[in-house]
Amino acid sequence: MIIEQFKDEFLAHYSYAIVSECEQKIVLIDPARNPEPYYEFAKKFDAQIIGVIETHPHADFVSSHLEIHETTGAKIYAHSLTGVAYPVHHFDDGATLSLGKIKLTSIHTPGHSPDSISVVLEHDGQTKAVFTGDTLFIGDCGRPDLRESAGNLQAKREKLALQMYHSLRDKLMVLDDEVLVYPAHGAGTLCGKALSTADSSTIGAEKISNWSLQEMSEADFMKELTTDQPFIPKYFGYSVDLNRKGAPHFKPNVDVVEVIEQPELEEINAAIIVVDARPEADFKEGHYPGAVNIVYGKKFETWLGSIIRPGEHFYLTAANPHQLEELIHRTASIGYEAFIVAAFVTHSGDVLMPVLPLECFIANPEEFTIIDVRNEQEVKNKKIFENSVNIPLGELRERILEVPADKPIVVHCAGGSRSAAGSSIIAAEFGAITPVYDLGTVVKDFAKPLD
């Protein structure tokens, strides 16, 4: 038996291949949008992919389960409550799937969503591991507030939080301490709030260190779980629905994205937003009118799906062909590739952003409107500028008219990348009449504690 973990570092997503070496068969759990790594893995063992298990319809990434089914004939397994549109074998509580000496058993563990399952693995009759999806993470458990307005089964966070309390205690904590825990996400995901950087654990270790498995009342657990969860990107509900329907095939969809030479300004449809992924400095030295600077980096797809609405078409541009190709693929990981009108490499542009007169800002911050684009909880934990106005980046386009335009505007976040996007959004609205500045990485000097 082999358990192979695959990691998407950008979305902090873990997927798994379980190999029966004696039968040369593979079952996948929660595969990512691009199925090629799983096909290549199967070739190494000359093995057949016979099944794909979806622990629930994920919100933060799009799965390739339907494509793998249509390409390999593998059966798809999911809980009957999911209400999917594709051919599915219901994998409800107690249902089993066997391959060689391996038996996989579904346990219904609602809490993150009503249709969540975890999958217990037995080998030679011994329970070895549990694949916990978004129910139990390393150091945390899944958030309960993503299905209040998405999916076929919607539920209030309080109801799901109560279900999570019992799923953890009645279904997972009863497993032996040495059972390995393999979650669907690690640190950096927005599906929880306090995940460890570890990619696996054991039930026993989690009983000791995971806050959600400690002894506490239902009320205390529910209060902790429903408080201070991260923001919800715009694309989450869209991804849930796309995963329930089944996404189109990955390669054909990314291959049809039109890649063109850098267009002249008059060739750009002014009604369509330009997503510019170049470094902040390059963007500020020249970009298209109204462009949003979502910088190439680890959180590109998260911010793309937070700023751009599902169904909203956009141009995608990057600093070089390699990054452009990568970003098209990463855009597809959240199902947004169909919204790309055209993609191209940008070397310059007609619109410039002014450089912040830093000494003036330091001496007279009251002469500027300061916009803090961090999330509400970050501001609650520590406000960097006393008179700043907090509008989280994911809400900024919808709340743009809340930005006062009577003074020069300075935009900041915690480290510089979000303020690049935020200042570009504000500049597109006010830049012609009010100077808009990006504080960038300089914010770290203001955020330092006093000696």
Q: Does residue 436 surpass a pLDDT of 50?
A: yes
User: pLDDT digit string (tens) for 222-275?
Assistant: 999 998 888 899 999 999 999 999 999 999 999 999 999 999 999 999 999 999
Give the C-alpha distances (Å, rounded to integers) separating 393 from 14, 31, 202, 331, 375: 27, 29, 37, 19, 7
**Any idea what DSSP says for residue 171?**
I
Per-residue pLDDT at 395 exceeds 80:
yes
The 3 state secondary structure assigned to 80-95 is HHHCCCCCCEECCCCC
Please give the structure tokens belonging to residue 446.
């203001």
Identify whether the C-beta of residue 25 lies closer than 8 Å to the C-beta of residue 2: no
pLDDT, average across residues 175-182? 98
Which residues share a beta bridge with 369? 409
pLDDT score of 194: 66
What CATH number should be reported for the domain whose range is 2-239? Answer: 3.60.15.10
**DSSP conformation class of 250:** H
Q: Would you place residue 85 in the very low, low, confident or very high pLDDT band (cuts 50, 70, 90)?
A: confident
Pairing of strands 89-90, 75-78: parallel
Which residue reads 């030295």 in tokens? 285
What's residue 175's pLDDT? 98
Per-residue tokens: 212:
């959600």
Mean pLDDT to the nearest integer, 166-184: 97
Please tell me the predicted confidence (pLDDT) of residue 154: 61
Interval 31-47: pLDDT, tens:
999 999 999 999 999 99
297 has a pLDDT exceeding 80: yes
Q: 170 exposed, middle or buried (CB, 10 Å; 0-12, 13-18, 19+)?
A: exposed
- Asked if 248-345 and 358-447 have one fold, the answer is yes
For residue 195, what pLDDT band results from cuts at 50, 70 and 90?
confident
Confidence label for 179 from pLDDT (cuts 50, 70 and 90): very high
- Give residue 432's pLDDT: 82
Asked if the model's pLDDT at residue 418 lies above 60, the reply is yes
CATH of domain 358-447: 3.40.250.10
Alpha-carbon distances, residue 391 vs 104, 186, 273, 403, 423 (angstroms): 46, 27, 21, 9, 12
pLDDT tens by residue, 302-356? 999 999 999 999 999 999 999 999 999 999 999 999 999 999 999 999 999 999 9
Q: Find, among 55, 57, 60, the residue nearest to 12 by Cα.
A: 60
- The CATH class, in words, for 248-345 is alpha beta
Q: Which pLDDT score is estimated for 431?
A: 79
Checking 322-329 for CB contacts under 8 A at 24+ apart, the result is 323/277, 323/296, 324/259, 327/277, 327/296, 327/300, 328/254, 328/257, 328/259, 329/34, 329/254
For residues 367-396, average pLDDT: 93
Binned at pLDDT 50, 70 and 90, residue 450 comes out as: very low
Percent residues over pLDDT 70 in the chain: 97
Do residues 115 and 128 touch, judged by C-beta distance below 8 A? no
Q: What is the CA radius of gyration of the chain?
A: 23
Which pLDDT tens digit goes with each residue over 120-136? Answer: 999 999 999 999 999 99
Q: Mean of the per-residue pLDDT values for the chain?
A: 94
* pLDDT score of 214: 97
Question: Does the pLDDT at position 448 exceed 70?
Answer: no
**Domain chopping of the chain, boundaries:** 2-239, 248-345, 358-447
- Examine the pLDDT at 451 and tell me if it is beyond 50: no
Q: What are the tokens at 375?
A: 């999330």
- Quick one: pLDDT at residue 415? 87
Nearest to 294 by CA among 393, 185, 376: 393
